[in-house]
């Protein structure tokens, strides 16, 4: 599995770690990782990209791993970083998608870079906090309810809570990762962690992304519960919302709100899917196919 890793400097003098995998001459798809996690690609996704002629680009968001922090960033601010990555890699047009905490960041690129983003998918992604029509934390597992309660209280409350959770993350096994997530794992997610190597992949990404501290995780959480810096109604490129109805991390009401708010959005809701199950190669193959049809 060949992954080309580089460091790109932003206009503001920050640095971003970028991963470039799959077919170098293929159709470009840019992936936004979840919260907290790493942008380092999952090997089965790279194999799919190589097979299907996809140039699979990803990156570590500001504050994660070796990517410089951007204090006070909004979700919309990520569009500037992605535009810089696209310029450096000569990606004039591209499709983009994000999983979980990456979903809003993918949507931000579609809203703010409409001439470059040809299609976007939010996969198990959260909706804006305070949106009319639903209780934002209703249906979330205990761990996420506590985490976002701390985010609403502010950095002084959130930072020590995240630091306590991140302690000992280096070298974590897939089994240990599953135990950390126990209160937010639905039955399908428990099964996929037992049956595949996804747990090891996410555990490694958890440790790598937090090796220098929790700034990226902290800034993500704060950004989720503050104004996003764009409105979903302003998204012009074709959009897809993917959601599992057994998701205890991001409940299906979030996907329903986004599907209704984004003009012309297509939505896939599955009765049998959870949260992590949407990251399997089978699910990602369908998402990539949908994006490729619009590139």
Please give the pLDDT value at position 1. Answer: 61
Q: How far out from the chain centre does Cα 232 lie?
A: 16
Secondary structure (3-state) at 92: coil
Q: What is the pLDDT of residue 78?
A: 98
Q: Is 140 exposed, middle or buried (0-12, 13-18, 19+ CB in 10 A)?
A: buried
Name which of 273, 235, 276, 239 is nearest 100 in CA terms. 276
Task: List the chain pLDDT tens, one digit each, 295 residues.
Answer: 689 999 999 989 999 999 999 999 999 999 999 999 999 999 999 999 999 999 999 999 999 999 999 999 999 999 999 999 999 999 999 999 999 999 999 999 999 999 999 999 999 999 999 988 789 999 999 999 999 999 999 999 999 999 999 997 778 899 999 998 999 999 999 999 999 999 999 999 999 999 999 999 999 999 999 999 999 999 999 999 999 999 999 999 999 999 999 999 999 999 999 999 999 999 999 999 999 999 9
pLDDT at residue number 112: 98
Q: Write down the CATH superfamily of domain 3-292.
A: Alpha/Beta hydrolase fold, catalytic domain (3.40.50.1820)
Per-residue model confidence (pLDDT) at position 196: 96
Residue 239 carries which DSSP code?
A: E
- Segment holding 86, helix H or strand E: helix 78-88
Domain boundaries, the chain: 3-292
Classify each residue of 37-73 as buried b or exposed e, where b means 16 or more C-beta atoms within 10 Å of its C-beta: bbbbbbebbbebbbebebbbbbbbbbbbbebbbbeeb
CA distances from 100 to 162, 183, 251 (A): 18, 17, 11
Burial class for 131, CB neighbours closer than 10 Å (0-12, 13-18, 19+): middle
């Amino acid at each position: 599995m060949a992954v080309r890793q580089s460091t790109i400097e932003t206009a503001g003098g920050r640095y971003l770690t970028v991963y470039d995998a799959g077919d170098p001459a293929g159709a470009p798809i840019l992936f936004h990782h979840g919260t907290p996690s790493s942008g380092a690609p999952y090997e089965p996704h790279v194999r799919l990209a190589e097979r299907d002629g996809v140039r699979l680009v990803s990156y570590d968001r500001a504050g994660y791993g070796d990517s410089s922090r951007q204090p006070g960033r909004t979700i919309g601010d990520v569009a500037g970083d992605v535009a810089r990555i696209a310029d450096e890699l000569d990606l004039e047009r591209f499709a983009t998608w994000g999983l979980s905490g990456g979903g809003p960041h993918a949507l931000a690129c579609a809203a703010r870079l409409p001439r470059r983003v040809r299609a976007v998918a939010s996969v198990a992604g959260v909706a804006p906090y305070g949106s009319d029509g639903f209780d934002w934390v209703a249906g979330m597992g205990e761990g996420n309810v506590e985490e976002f309660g701390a985010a609403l209280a502010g950095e002084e409350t959130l930072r020590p809570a995240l630091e306590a959770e991140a302690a000992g993350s280096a070298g974590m096994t897939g089994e240990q990762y599953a135990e950390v997530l126990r209160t937010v794992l639905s039955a399908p997610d428990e099964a996929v962690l037992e049956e595949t190597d996804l747990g090891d992949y996410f555990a490694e990404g958890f440790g790598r992304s937090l090796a220098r501290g929790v700034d990226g995780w902290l800034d993500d959480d704060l950004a989720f519960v503050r104004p996003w810096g764009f409105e979903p109604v302003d998204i012009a490129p074709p959009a897809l919302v993917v959601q599992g109805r057994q998701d205890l991390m991001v409940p299906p009401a979030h996907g329903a709100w986004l599907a209704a708010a984004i003009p012309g959005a297509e939505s896939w809701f599955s009765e049998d899917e959870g949260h992590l199950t949407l990251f399997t190669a089978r699910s990602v193959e369908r998402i990539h196919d949908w994006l490729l049809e619009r590139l």
